[in-house]
Structure 1
Amino acid sequence: IMRPRFPWLLWAYACCWSAGFCGKVVVWPTDASHWINVKVLLEKLVLRGHEVTVLVPSSNLLIDYQDTSSPFTFEVLQVPFTQKTLHAIMEDFLYFWTNKISNLYPWEVIWRMKKDMEVFTTMSKQTCDALVMNPELTAKLEQAKFDVLIADPLSVGGELVAEILAIPFVYSFRFSYGNVVERLCGGLPSPPSYVPASTRGLTDQMSFVERLQNFLFYFYMDLFSLKFWRDEWDDYYSNILGRPTTLCETMGKAEIWLIRTYWDFEFPRPFLPNFEFVGGLHCQPAKPLPKEMEEFVQSSEEHGIVVFSLGSMVHNLTDEKSNVIARALSQLPQKVLWRYKGKKPETLGSNTRIYDWIPQNDLLGHPLTKAFITHGGTNGIYEAIYHGIPMVGIPMFADQHDNIAHMKAKGAAVGLDFSTLKTQDLVDALNTVINNSTYKENALKLSKIQHDQPVKPLDRAVFWIEFVMRHKGAKHLRPAAHHLTWYQYHCLDVLAFLLTCTAVVVFILVKCCLFCCRRCGRIAKK
């Protein structure tokens, strides 16, 4: 059983010997596309000689803990929900956000978001309980003497495990709704005047109305999140740790925040020394395609190909929507490679081939690739940026609307509304990004920025993790904002003091003036 891992172990020990430093890493991962991203980072850590242990729930979407060839050690957390239940929850979640949301009022969407958060929170607590209520596993992890924990704030619990094990932890993160975790817990400055709140689809160039919307959204998300955390998590964390604390306070102890974007994607904004942007760390040069796929690509001749994927979570669409898309693709002179597991559309053209899985990075790096149709996931966006491919974005949920808004602002993409998508809309969008050279030029410009870095994103992420391991943390990078109350942070107490002083001085001056006037009046009467 252990033989397939032997080459990994041999390489790890060789790296450990040459580097003179070999540590132990424990991981509290987030599933789905987040795992795809962090897995690349973990494999690099193994190649650097570190031992990596992944804490994985027994029911999950993409983490194969039974893979004996994996370079990681898996500690399986036995959760009460089954694989079938998890898939049913995810299918319901995806169906709502892709098919039903466009017909609902804003308050109905907010209610559904709250319901979804409660469902995922229950599952997160069950996953946490599988560890903290298992004294044997907790003792085993404590005895392992890990040097650092890697987590994603989207999956609550990693920071709690780090506190229990008394080890520093590092976040790998895209963003939270309204940037609430980064702002309130991480202390990241986010002026609402020019830093757009995530998930709003805004840019840094906002009108008065957009700035008003941005400010109100920040305010609403702060109130909503603080109340939700207080109701769902603060008591849970306090009971487990045996001392009064909050989820946000515990999250704020992260030594380093590895943000999965970079300045080729982000709008200029202030950030902190313990925030490091490592977008594109999973990207790499294209490898040769499988023979059958390469022959299909070459058959496109001068027209080239279009790559189409809606990510790792959206496996099928309604018959109506899939036929709308297939009909549009059939009108293109390009050959199309479509990752899709649903029912074969009746309108599928001879120029389009459907695959259960495609080597997306290798296809995007192929010289014949003309465009990328994407749902707007961060991993796919960065592979397109890396290879300089213009995009047609069809965002559905989570960070996707924001990602496409960024690419549109950079001039490298055209965005479409999935709920109202028509055949001609998709045809026109593809013809625009393929035939208008501006989109290709802007995509190549972003690609040059991505490649022109003093240190590669993956190496930079590894450096900071190893830095935390070597120094037992990075407290010297932690801003003093964590020790201030909200009114101290915004200097409201200083303003109150100055206003009070001003009021006292004005009061004294008015009284003096009144006194002088009365005195002068008495003298005049005499």
Structure 2
Amino acid sequence: MYPEHHQVVLGTSAVLRVTFVDLQSTEKQILTICPLLTLAVLLCSSSPVSGGKVLVFPVDGSHWVNMNIIIKELHIRGHEVTKLSEAEFALVLTDPAFGGGVFLGHRLGLPLVFNVRWAIQSEGHNVIAPSPLSYIPIPGSELTDKMTFKQRVKNFLIYVITCIQFWYIIEPNYKPFAHRYFGKDVNYMELFQAADVWLMRNDFTFEFPRPTTPNIVYMSGFQ
């Protein structure tokens, strides 16, 4: 009786050992397959990315220092950047301190991206975003967002002087050009405001609270 019982025990033990070995083998297979499945899911869910051709219309001087940094980063990310050729481009990148790049972008019918701090009309925000003079100081006024009545009058007078310079010095050069090449009903100010993305070379850390727009992207560390 005892030998038969002993054989049964040994048989059960052998089955348990085989089962345990099978479980270990299955776990190893799962651990091997899981990373492969994860990689396959990531590859299937990710969209293909390819570099595009960017037409750059830069401005010389200190403005080029900022533009050059952006151009180098575009090169690193696989984009083809050039100043002018007869190829097809994805967009135009320009500094609106002068209007040449703006006119070129609209002439070619391409998306327009600004590398901007100062536009030809005024500070960039004043062109694209609401800028109430009661608490938005004009650059150079040495005022803050908390102004007395006299300071608000000063801010308004500086704004008027800026507008006069714009109306009598800048606009007479750009308005005829816009009418000649884009039509009599085209306001060149609207061409500036129609830019798709404004890469603003400042940050709220250095600004007083002010309204902004969804297509303004703030870049810290630029002038």
Normalising by the residue count of structure 1, what TM-score does the alignment of the two structures yield?
0.32
Displacement after TM superposition at 1:242 (Å) = 4.7
Alignment-derived partner of residue 33 in structure 1: 62
What do residues 291-324 of structure 1 show as CA deviations (whole Å, max 9, x unaligned)?
xxxxxxxxxxxxxxxxxxxxxxxxxxxxxxxxxx
Partner Cα distance (1:197, 1:27) in 2: 30
Distance in 2, Cα, partners of 1:47 & 1:198 = 35
Question: Percent of pairs identical after alignment?
Answer: 33
Q: Is the 8 A contact 1:178 1:199 kept in 2?
A: no
Instruction: From 72, 78, 91, give the equivalent of 1:43.
Output: 72
AA in 1 matched with 2:62: S
Q: Deviations over 1:239-291 (max 9, x none)?
A: 1235542321211111111111002211111111111211215xxxxxxxxxx
Offset at residue 224 of structure 1 (A): 3.2
Matched, 1:196 2:137: yes
Number of residue pairs aligned between Structure 1 and Structure 2: 177
Aligned-partner SS, 1:264: helix
C-alpha distance in structure 1 between counterparts of 2:65 and 2:97, whole Å? 15
1:165 aligns with 2:105: no
- 1:149 is paired with a residue of what secondary structure? strand
Partner of 1:221: 162
Paired residues for 1:91-490 under 5 Å: 140-141=85-86, 144-176=87-119, 179=122, 182-183=125-126, 185-186=127-128, 188-280=129-221, 378=223
Contact 2:52 2:89 in 1 (8 A): yes
Q: For 1:248 and 1:165, locate their aligned partners in 2 and report how far apart those are by CA, in whole Å.
A: 18
Cα distance in 2 between the residues matched to 1:225 and 1:240: 21
Does the aligned pair in 2 maintain the 1:235–1:246 contact within 8 Å?
no
Deviation per CA, 1:195-228: give whole Å up to 9, x if none: 1111222222323222111112223323431343
Q: Give the deviation of 1:177 after TM superposition.
A: 7.9
Q: 1:181 to 1:220 in 2, by over 3 A?
A: farther
State the distance in 1 between where 2:122 and 2:48 align.
38
Q: Which has the higher contact order (CA 8 A, sep 6+)?
A: 2
- Residue pair 2:97, 2:120 contacting (<8 A) in 1 also: no
Partner of 1:371: none
Per-residue CA distance 1:38-94 (angstroms, 9 max, x = gap): 11111111111110012xxxxxxxxxxxxxxxxxxxx4xxxxxxxxxxxxxxxxxxx
Q: Which runs of 5+ in 1 are unaligned?
A: 1-17, 55-74, 76-139, 282-377, 379-526
Q: Distance in 1 between matches of 2:123 and 2:65?
A: 24
Change (3 A) 1:242 1:211: closer
Mapped to 1, the partners of 2:188 and 2:170 lie a distance apart of: 7
2:59/2:95 contact within 8 Å kept: yes
> Is 1:20 aligned to residue 11 of structure 2?
no
Rounded to whole Å, the distance in 1 between the matches of 2:122 and 2:144 is 14
State the secondary structure of the residue aligned to 1:36: helix
Equivalent AA in structure 2 for residue 29 of structure 1: P
Give me the TM-score of the superposition, normalised by structure 2.
0.71
* Residues 247, 182 of structure 1: alpha-carbon distance in 2 compared, 3 angstrom cutoff: farther
What is the rounded CA distance, in whole Å, between the counterparts of 1:231 and 1:179 in structure 2?
16
1:181 deviates by 5.7
Matched-pair contact (CA < 8 Å) for 1:192–1:211: yes
CA–CA distance in structure 2, aligned partners of residues 229 and 247 of structure 1: 11
In the alignment, structure 2 segments of 5+ residues that lack a partner are 1-46
**What's the RMSD between the two structures over aligned residues?**
2.3
Partner of 2:205, secondary structure, is coil
Task: State the SS of the aligned residue for 1:197.
Answer: coil
SS in 2 for 1:26: strand
